[in-house]
Amino acid sequence: MTALSDLPADARLYLRPLWFADSPVGLDGTTARIGDGLIWFQAYEIVARAGGRRILTQIVPVADFDAALAAAPATLRARAEALAAGIATKRPPLSLNGRTIRFDSPQVMGILNMTPDSFSDGGRHQGDAQIAADAGFAMTTDGVAIVDVGGESTRPGADPVWEGDEIARVVPVIEKLAAAGVPVSIDTRKAAVMEAALAAGAALVNDVSALLHDDRSLDVVARAGCPVVLMHVPSAGENLHDGARYADAAFDVFDWLEARVHACLEAGIPRAKIIVDPGLGFGKSLQDNLSILNRVAMYQALGVPVLVGVSRKRMIGALSNEAPVDKRLGGSVALAMQAFGLGAQIVRVHDVAETVQAARVWRGLRDAALSDC
């Protein structure tokens, strides 16, 4: 296949923003924008797949997009237009614990694990809710938008945690943070933990299984009316890393997330309350992770904010002489900067102060680029 006009009507179409521009000034009619952020681009990469295999890759300048689609079958033209609209649509701000989280600039979510065995910081805060809450307060002082509290490790081989124990770990911390007006998310895949955390003051659910692990989770979130992060994993069972089989990881993950967004919409969760996360490191090889991160801009076509978990990932060690977990700060910041530059609205990290600083410098560079034109 060499042209859009040759594609079968049942081909699967994807759009990725390319040819990024510092500013749209002087480029009238030749740029498009990712949401209401500071990322403008001048071309789309159009990819078509059939049977999980790429059958077309074509780069089309933004100015020629409509003309190029005219040759495509009507179903594919409608699909491409919907994807382009998803990229362009403004992401409404979130209101969490009285604070407004906007997406016109990258936001940082800080990780607060109340676990003994998380791969990076297990045991650091477990057993003392006040010390843990103080760590959360320090994150807000450093500039995080959201503190993400979790009570169960999701590392490969981690033992499952009974929901009662998980609730006991997270609720006292959430209560202290929420009482002080801190925007808190609950990192859990269990409906009972979601309910307890929301009652304690959490304002967002971050489910690594995209509301698939627990049959009640979708209904809990829909009834609560809270925002939710849907993360991709290859398995909704106890071991989230099991069963990974990809024809082409970046595109397979896109399809999976699109289906989960649709399921949430069908359940009554509004699009304005949905965030997606491609799940770097969860049942994915180094090449899978690199492909997904390089194509993060493609996930903007889902029309919702994109969160990327880049912090201290194993891929950093694989690319840097097997650097141990506590020596991955540089790689974590590098991945965050890559995500920012491709439009990711949120990054989830352990190293809060350094990542917030990177985000502020990135914003300063973007603002200067606009004013220099």
SS3 state of residue 183: coil
CB-CB contact of 5 with 72 (8 Å): yes
| Residues catalogued as catalytic | 313, 348
Backbone angles phi, psi at 152, to 5 degrees: -145, 130
Which tokens go with 158?
């981690």
| Distance between CA atoms of residues 140 and 108, nearest Å | 10
CB-CB contact of 83 with 28 (8 Å): no
CB-CB contact of 120 with 349 (8 Å): no
| Distance between CA atoms of residues 71 and 42, nearest Å | 20
CB-CB contact of 225 with 271 (8 Å): no
Beta bridge partners of 20: 41
| Distance between CA atoms of residues 95 and 347, nearest Å | 18
The residue among 242, 341, 354 whose CA lies nearest residue 297 is 341
